[in-house]
Structure 1
Amino acid sequence: MKWPSFFRTIQAKLIIIYVLLILIAMQLIGVYFVSAMKNSLTSNFTKDLQERAELLSVLAADKLGGTGDTGENNPVESLGAIVNNLFNLNGAEIQVLDASGKVLITSYPSHADYVGKKNTQTVVSRALQGIKDNEEYVIDEDNVRKKVVAKPVMNNGKIVGAIYIVASMKELYDTMGRVNNIFISGILLALGMTCVLGVILAHTITHPIKEMTNHATAVAEGSFDQKMPVFGNDEIGQLSEAFNYMTSRLREALIQNEEEKEKLASILTNMSDGVIATDEAGKVILMNRRAGAILGVDEDELAGSDIAQVLGLTPEQADTFTEGTYVTMLLQISPEEEKEKSRHYMVRVTFTPIHRREFGITGTIAVLQDVTEQEKLEASRREFVANVSHELRTPLTTIKSYTEALDDGALDDPPLAARFVGVIQNETERMIRLVTDLLHLSRLDNKEALLRKQPTDVLEMLEDVSDRFSFQMQQKGILAEVRVEEGVQKAPFDRDQIDQVLDNLVSNALKYTPSGGSITMEAALTEGRLLAISVQDTGIGIPKKDLDRIFERFYRVDKARSRNMGGTGLGLSIAREIVLAHGGTISLQSELGQGTKVTFTLPLGDEGGSAS
């Protein structure tokens, strides 16, 4: 498996291409060179045979024509001496033929028996017919290539014979073979050197690429501290510099992206509103901690869930959400772990589609705003306005009715008129008390009520409260008791304000405690160095369902009975606001039919000072 992977590398491809280019070039050169050399050698060899045959035919013309005055007795023998001495060729046979084609002379002694016999070769027949260019290639029984040349012998325009030459081309082809061997050796040597040079060249090119690949892999894995070495000023060097620049810019971009991501994650985590992100199919892909708290689940549990099911949307609401438009809904959500406690969140959900160019809507951002307290405050405001309206309307209606009665003639009946005027006065005083309490609450809400804190004797204050209600308690046969723990002497607070708190608490206890009961006022120190003052009665008590709302304004456990007793429904609310203004707390404990205990605490710091 290693070699196939090597051949797929750029280095192997460069070496192969480089070697193939050299091999093809040398092959083309070799083919051309060998072909040209073969043609040249063959042409020269044939030309030499043609010239020898031409010269011999000239010499033989005089001998065979019998016209020459040579003084020789036997011209054939003289011609044989010329053939053997002057025209003897290594590996060639020369025959002199007469006009009939019979062999007169042969240069091969082994072919002496050819003398007197007729040579029937085609080239000989053509030569005896007067054709000068007669040649052909033959291969004998020993598989030796030979060149055959035949020339006519002319004497006075008459053919008197022919010259026949058969020359072996073995030496010529042996020479060509040696040249080919030399050429092949040169090709192999050149290819070897080419391979070495190709490896060096390929390494020079691929080494920077390998380095860049390693650095690119490291960058992909998050390592941006390594720098690509620059091996030169060529294109690869410029590429290395560009790669280093890209790495630095990418590192800066990722650092900035991480910072922005951390900022966004911190913002999402610490947002007071819940945020849920979905994909184009409405599946939850992201949820912050606040959204999980509102829904009562872990933010990782709902990944991949459908947001319509998560928020409990109705089919109509889900259809509106999937339209991809800006939508705001008010939903009531019950967290899973709070369902048994019947706790609900009023959540205003705003759906904002995410648009991506060329892709349309790719998701939705849902912002969950907990408006439970706002809705409660709004409901309380509406209830407060309704209660104030009702509290004012009742005495006003009574005053109007009695005024109309007086106007209709009740003034003429003095006893009846006096009773009507008394009712009008009582209702007027009731409205004055109501307005006074409302103004007092308004000043406390707006921090406009100044607290004049002074060291106050706690025992003396409680005894004064008991003395103010002593006559009413004696009338109902209620026993009053004051208890002050040892060590409790003076404490800094606004005496008038705390007197009002105690008056409201004792007044309530007196109203709802039957004859023969008792009211106990007690002062003690807590572990946190707070002064705790409590008012406990043995009255009718308060049902548990009303305990959470007992300090709300105008809230009455028994509305008809408390209104008949002259209460405005603001006493406990005013008491709570005064205690909170002092920096303390107030709480109420009660059992139906067993009595009620109201306790408030006051801090002991800032003695002798005053605060608003």
Structure 2
Amino acid sequence: MKWTSFFRTIQAKLIIIYVLLILIAMQLIGVYFVSAMKNSLTRNFSQDLQERAELLSVLASDKLGSTAETGENNSIESLGAIVTNLFNMDGAEIQILDATGKVLITSNPAHMDYVGRKNTQTVVSRALQGSKDNEEYIIDEDNVRKKVVAKPVFNKGKIVGAVYIVASMKELYTTMGRVNNIFISGILLALVLTAVLGVILAHTITHPIKEMTKHATAVAEGDFDQKMPVFGNDEIGQLSEAFNYMTTRLREALLVNEEEKEKLASILTNMSDGVIATDEAGRIILMNRRAGAILGVDEDELSGSDIAEVLGLSGEQTQTFTEGTYVSMLLQMSPEAERSYMIRVTLTPIHRREFGITGTIAVLQDVTEQEKLEASRREFVANVSHELRTPLTTIKSYSEALDDGALDDPPLASRFVGVIQNETGRMIRLVTDLLHLSRLDNKEALIRMQQADVLEMLEDVADRFSFQMQQKDIRSEVRVEEGLQKALCDRDQIDQVLDNLVSNAMKYTQPGGSIAMEAAGAPGNLLAISVQDTGIGIPKKDLDRIFERFYRVDKARSRSMGGTGLGLSIAREIVLAHGGTISIQSELGQGTKVTFTLPLAANEGVAT
């Protein structure tokens, strides 16, 4: 396994490539060299034989010619001496043949029995026929390759014989074998040196790559302080510099990305709107804290949940959502629970080029208070319209009656005019109260804070309503805690609050009842003023809405008593403008107590 993994490395591949290249190059060179050497040696060997044969044919021409004319053997003997002494070759045999192909002379003593016999070799036959280029290769019984050459001998234009040479090529091939062995040894030595040099050279290439791999792995694991050493100015050195530059830029990019991610996380965490991110299948992958607060769950609990189920989307809404279109919808959450609230959900698809829709961003807004305010506004407009329509309708009816002839009846006309005046006064009071509320809402009502005597302020209120209380047989009582003298307030505004509270108490208190105004200290250096009656009281279900504008417990009775339904609302706004609070306590059939607080003057204190 270790060697298998080694052969898969670049270093092993480079070594193998170098060795194979050298091997192929040496093989090509060896084949060419050996082939050229073989051809050269063979050619020289053949040329030497041809030259010897040619020289012998020239020398034998006169000898064989004179022997043929005189029949003497002296010429043959002298020719034999020349062949034996001058043209003796190791591993070669030279024969001089007459015109009939009979062997006259042989240089091989072992073949002296060939003398007188006829040489029937093909090359000899062609030479005796006059062919000059007669040579061939033969292999003898000892498996030795030999070269055979035959040359015709001419004398005076006639063929008088032939020269036959057969030479062994064993030494030539032995020489070629030694050369091949030397060449193979050189190849092996070159391969070993190449392998060694290949290891060294491959190491110089693979070592920077290994270093870069190690540094790249460290960078991939988040260690961006890695610095790749530069080993030179070659391509690998340039790659190392590019790697270092890439690491620096990647570190800077990740730092910027982390910074942007933290900014985005901070923005998502502190957004007033809830944000939910989903994948392409609608599963929740991210939710900020505000979204969890709106849905009443922890943001980690819904990870992987289907957003359609979490928001309770209908089938049609889910289909629109999955189609990837921009959707804005108003949903009522927990309609069966005690706390029912409204949220506005805006679904925006996330598109990625070539991938289509890859997710959805859902923005959640809790619009419960907004919807309540909108409902209150609609109710307020409806109430104002209703409050104005009733007196206007009455005024119109009575004015038409006067126009139709009631003016001619003075008692009737006087009563009609009185009704018109009452309804007009009612509308004026309504409009005045609305303008007062508008100024308080828009912070346009100027509050002139000054010290006011608490006892004097309460007694003045009792004096203003004393006549009306006497008529209804209602007793009044003023109580101020000992030590309390001055309050810090706008006297005119607080007088209006007290007038509204006492007026309401008188309306709903039966004859023989009582109304008590009390001032006492309260925690926080405050003054608590209360107006308590023994009237009919207010049902508990109406206490939470009693300070709403135009809200009446008994609408018909309140309107018949001339109220506008804005008195308690104005009182609350005035008290709030002073930095105080107002509350109401009531038991049906037992009476009502309204308490509000004001700041005490700087030199006043609460008795302990």
Q: How does 1:518-529 map to 2 (within 5 A)?
A: 519-529=515-525
CA contact (8 A) 2:343 2:364 kept: no
Shift in Å, 1:470: 5.6
CA contact (8 A) 1:522 1:534 kept: yes
2:593 alignment partner, one of 592, 597, 601: 597
Partner letter of residue 89 of structure 2? Answer: L
2:54 alignment counterpart: 54
1:93 alignment counterpart: 93
1:565 alignment counterpart: 561
SS at 2:93 equivalent: strand
Query: Partners in 2 of 1:460 and 1:89 — Cα distance?
Result: 164
SS at 2:143 equivalent: coil
What percent identity do the matched residue pairs reach? 86
SS at 2:582 equivalent: strand
SS at 1:88 equivalent: coil
2:440 is aligned with 1:441: no
Moved more, 306-315 or 496-505: 306-315
1:166 alignment counterpart: 166
Structure 1 pair 168/581, CA: closer, same or farther in 2 (3 Å)? same
Deviations for 1:559-585, whole angstroms, at most 9, x for unmatched residues?
A: 112222332211210110011001112
2:576 alignment partner, one of 577, 580, 593: 580
SS at 1:94 equivalent: strand
Deviations for 1:486-525, whole angstroms, at most 9, x for unmatched residues?
A: 6644332223322332332333334334456555544444
Moved more, 68-77 or 537-546: 68-77
SS at 2:337 equivalent: helix
Structure 1 pair 398/157, CA: closer, same or farther in 2 (3 Å)? closer
1:453 alignment counterpart: 449
Shift in Å, 1:546: 2.1
CA contact (8 A) 2:67 2:73 kept: no
1:20 alignment counterpart: 20
1:511 alignment partner, one of 485, 507, 510: 507
CA contact (8 A) 1:277 1:284 kept: yes
1:345 alignment counterpart: 342
Query: Partners in 2 of 1:428 and 1:103 — Cα distance?
Result: 172
Structure 1 pair 90/466, CA: closer, same or farther in 2 (3 Å)? same
Query: Partners in 1 of 2:135 and 2:155 — Cα distance?
Result: 22
Shift in Å, 1:85: 2.6
Q: How does 1:331-370 map to 2 (within 5 A)?
A: 331-334=330-333, 336=334, 339-345=336-342, 347=344, 349-350=345-346, 365-370=361-366
Structure 1 pair 483/175, CA: closer, same or farther in 2 (3 Å)? farther
Query: Partners in 2 of 1:302 and 1:428 — Cα distance?
Result: 61
When the two structures are superposed, what TM-score results if normalisation uses the length of structure 2?
A: 0.84
CA contact (8 A) 2:402 2:413 kept: yes
2:546 alignment partner, one of 550, 575, 580: 550
Q: How does 1:226-241 map to 2 (within 5 A)?
A: 226-241=226-241
Shift in Å, 1:340: 0.8
SS at 2:82 equivalent: helix
Structure 1 pair 174/593, CA: closer, same or farther in 2 (3 Å)? farther
2:189 alignment counterpart: 189
For structure 2, list consecutive stretches of 5 or more residues without a partner in the other structure.
none
CA contact (8 A) 2:137 2:145 kept: yes
Query: Partners in 2 of 1:141 and 1:513 — Cα distance?
Result: 158
Moved more, 407-416 or 381-390: 407-416
CA contact (8 A) 1:492 1:607 kept: no
Structure 1 pair 270/314, CA: closer, same or farther in 2 (3 Å)? same
When the two structures are superposed, what TM-score results if normalisation uses the length of structure 1?
A: 0.83
CA contact (8 A) 2:215 2:228 kept: yes
SS at 1:341 equivalent: coil
CA contact (8 A) 2:277 2:361 kept: yes
Moved more, 587-596 or 463-472: 463-472
2:37 is aligned with 1:37: yes
Q: How does 1:101-180 map to 2 (within 5 A)?
A: 101-180=101-180
SS at 1:93 equivalent: strand
1:495 alignment counterpart: 491
Partner letter of residue 431 of structure 1? Answer: M
Shift in Å, 1:554: 0.9
CA contact (8 A) 2:274 2:289 kept: yes
Structure 1 pair 391/56, CA: closer, same or farther in 2 (3 Å)? closer
Query: Partners in 1 of 2:487 and 2:338 — Cα distance?
Result: 41
Query: Partners in 1 of 2:73 and 2:422 — Cα distance?
Result: 193
Shift in Å, 1:556: 0.4
Deviations for 1:37-77, whole angstroms, at most 9, x for unmatched residues?
A: 11111122222223333333444455555549999975555
Structure 1 pair 333/70, CA: closer, same or farther in 2 (3 Å)? farther
Compute the RMSD of aligned alpha carbons: 4.0
Shift in Å, 1:28: 1.7
SS at 2:191 equivalent: helix
1:383 alignment counterpart: 379
Structure 1 pair 156/511, CA: closer, same or farther in 2 (3 Å)? same
Query: Partners in 1 of 2:603 and 2:278 — Cα distance?
Result: 59
CA contact (8 A) 2:67 2:76 kept: no
CA contact (8 A) 2:341 2:366 kept: no
Moved more, 562-571 or 32-41: 562-571
Partner letter of residue 450 of structure 2? Answer: Q
Shift in Å, 1:294: 3.7
CA contact (8 A) 1:491 1:607 kept: no
Deviations for 1:298-338, whole angstroms, at most 9, x for unmatched residues?
A: 55555666655555555555666667666654x1321x5x7
Shift in Å, 1:82: 3.4
CA contact (8 A) 1:294 1:345 kept: no
Deviations for 1:6-47, whole angstroms, at most 9, x for unmatched residues?
A: 444444444333333332222222111111111111122222
Q: How does 1:197-276 map to 2 (within 5 A)?
A: 197-276=197-276
Deviations for 1:413-441, whole angstroms, at most 9, x for unmatched residues?
A: 66655555554444444334333322322
2:528 alignment counterpart: 532
SS at 1:340 equivalent: coil
Partner letter of residue 167 of structure 2? Answer: A
CA contact (8 A) 1:62 1:68 kept: no
CA contact (8 A) 1:454 1:607 kept: no
SS at 1:447 equivalent: coil
Query: Partners in 2 of 1:417 and 1:462 — Cα distance?
Result: 42
Query: Partners in 2 of 1:385 and 1:154 — Cα distance?
Result: 151
Query: Partners in 2 of 1:594 and 1:5 — Cα distance?
Result: 99
